[in-house]
């Protein structure tokens, strides 16, 4: 069961602000302010704005805590409060928080300081604060959690994998509740500059709000983003004892690998489709039961086409009856947090009976021929939803969320 969510995203610094902006179809893409990007071919990103880490951390902790961990701490606190979870002595609670690029920004900034200062000494927290496990550990420290603490890197599938790992810990009896999700903060000169030669990023610098356009025939790449989304996952029995009403049941999921290329998806979507099929089968449902697919859909030409083919392969004739949309059209790509954001969107769609749109979808692409909920949110009952998240290296992760029904 998922009983709480917290979020720090380009669309809002908490769960409900993020949700309101997504339903309204508001783009969070704008000019890069994190650094001077004036000399780069790409000068736009989806930044988290107005986030004040001093609201959550004292001065000493701020010095040792990287941005991606700050996001995770804020989102985790919100999730725990939302779930009304009393962690107590922390023994029965775990943490699984994944990141893809981890402390990339911290290491890059340190390297620049060394180069500029001709070998000047760095602070003692440069290395530990940049490690991929640090958001999970900082959340553990912050909340007093003494159960299992996990952290992994699954590229853009990281946030989704964290939820599945949390589910596994609960089913194995290793924890009653797990704080789980994804975080990343990698809007830096090297990251943006390094992605430009690959052609992966949109270059619509003069139209930031229209830059992220998944499934549109005129799409030209994804928009880099940052943020964190954290959930509270717990057993049904634990939630029932506490008397809380879950957002949704985390029913099942699946991981597969394309084994094809380090950045490009397998072009026919075969193994992404297999992940969808496995997730559906493990959930004990059929393709016809799926109401909504929260798509990975970054806005790259190859990726959106392959995902469309994967959905058609997995759902068959039912694909034409399913609503599919991409939050990345508004938030950009949150990298390690993207899958957790998708899961939150599915859960809130189940709660509110509405799905967010794919904005900027103006020119239909004949190769992308599903119902992408173009440009305006849609009121509709959502009882079963799936998330697609596909990462560099060919890592595919699908999760299945269903409406919770009181037995």
52-69 per-position pLDDT tens digit: 999 999 999 999 999 999
Q: Could you tell me the CA-to-CA distances from 381 to 353, 355, 369 in Å, in that order?
A: 5, 9, 22
- Tokens coding 308: 């469309």
- Indicate if the pLDDT at residue 6 is higher than 70: yes
Q: How confident is the model at residue 405 (pLDDT cuts 50, 70, 90)?
A: confident
For range 5-31, the mean pLDDT: 98
Report pLDDT for 66.
96
What percentage of the chain exceeds 70 in pLDDT?
Answer: 99
For range 210-222, the mean pLDDT: 98
For range 77-100, the mean pLDDT: 96
Distance CA 208, CA 211 (A): 5
Residue 67: what are its φ and ψ, rounded to 5°? -60, -40
Environment class of residue 344 by beta-carbon count within 10 Å: exposed (0-12), middle (13-18) or buried (19+)? buried
Report pLDDT for 189.
97
Distance CA 354, CA 343 (A): 14
| Residues labelled catalytic | 156, 296, 333
For range 296-323, the mean pLDDT: 97
SS3 state at 181? strand
Torsion of CA 65, 66, 71, 77, to 10 degrees: -20
Q: How confident is the model at residue 120 (pLDDT cuts 50, 70, 90)?
A: low
Q: Which pTM does this prediction carry?
A: 0.97
- Tokens coding 177: 């509740």
Report pLDDT for 90.
86
**What is the phi-psi region of residue 25: left when phi exceeds 0, alpha when psi lies from -120 to 50, beta otherwise?**
left
pLDDT tens by residue, 364-402? 999 999 999 999 999 999 999 999 999 999 999 999 999
Exposed e or buried b for every residue in 190-209, given b needs 16+ CB within 10 A?
A: ebbeebeeeebbbebeeebe
Q: How confident is the model at residue 122 (pLDDT cuts 50, 70, 90)?
A: confident
Exposed e or buried b for every residue in 352-374, given b needs 16+ CB within 10 A?
A: eebbbbbbbbeeebeebebebbb
pLDDT tens by residue, 145-190? 999 999 999 999 999 999 999 999 999 999 999 999 999 999 999 9
Q: Which domains, ranges and CATH numbers included, belong to the chain? A: 2-242 (3.40.47.10), 252-402 (3.40.47.10)
């Amino acid at each position: 069961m998922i009983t709480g969510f917290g979020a720090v995203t380009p669309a809002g610094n908490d769960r409900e602000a993020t949700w309101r902006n997504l339903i309204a179809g508001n783009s969070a893409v704008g000019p890069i302010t994190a650094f001077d990007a004036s000399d780069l071919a790409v000068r736009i990103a989806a930044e988290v704005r107005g986030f004040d880490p001093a609201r959550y951390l004292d001065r000493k902790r701020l010095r040792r805590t990287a941005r991606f961990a700050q996001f995770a701490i804020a989102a985790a606190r919100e999730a725990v409060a939302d779930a009304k979870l009393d962690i107590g002595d922390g023994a029965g609670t775990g943490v699984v928080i994944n990141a893809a690029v981890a402390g990339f920004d911290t290491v890059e900034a340190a390297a620049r300081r060394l180069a500029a200062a001709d070998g000047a000494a760095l602070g003692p927290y440069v290395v530990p604060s940049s490690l991929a496990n640090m958001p999970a550990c900082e959340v553990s420290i912050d909340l007093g959690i003494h159960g299992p603490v996990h952290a992994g890197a699954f590229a853009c599938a990281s946030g989704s994998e964290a939820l599945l790992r949390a589910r596994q810990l609960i089913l194995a009896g290793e924890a009653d509740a797990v704080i789980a999700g994804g975080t990343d903060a990698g809007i830096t000169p090297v990251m943006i500059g390094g992605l430009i030669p690959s052609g992966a990023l949109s270059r619509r610098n003069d139209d930031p709000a229209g830059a992220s356009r998944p499934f549109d025939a005129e799409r030209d790449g994804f928009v880099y983003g940052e943020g964190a989304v954290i959930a509270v996952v717990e057993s049904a029995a634990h939630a029932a004892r506490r008397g809380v009403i879950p957002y949704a049941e985390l029913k099942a999921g699946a991981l597969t690998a394309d084994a094809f290329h380090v950045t490009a998806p397998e072009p026919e979507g075969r193994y992404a489709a297999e992940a969808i099929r496995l997730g559906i089968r493990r959930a004990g449902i059929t393709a016809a039961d799926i109401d909504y697919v929260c798509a990975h859909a970054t806005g790259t030409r190859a990726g959106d086409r392959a995902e469309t083919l994967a959905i058609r392969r997995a759902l068959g004739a039912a694909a034409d009856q399913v609503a599919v949309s991409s939050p990345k059209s508004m938030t950009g790509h949150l990298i390690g947090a993207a899958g957790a954001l998708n899961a939150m969107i599915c859960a809130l769609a189940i709660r509110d009976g509405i799905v967010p749109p794919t904005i900027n979808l103006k020119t239909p692409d004949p190769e992308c021929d599903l119902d992408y909920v173009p440009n305006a949110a849609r009121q509709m009952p959502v009882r079963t939803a799936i998330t697609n998240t596909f990462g560099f290296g060919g890592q595919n992760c699908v999760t299945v969320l269903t409406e919770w029904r009181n037995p």
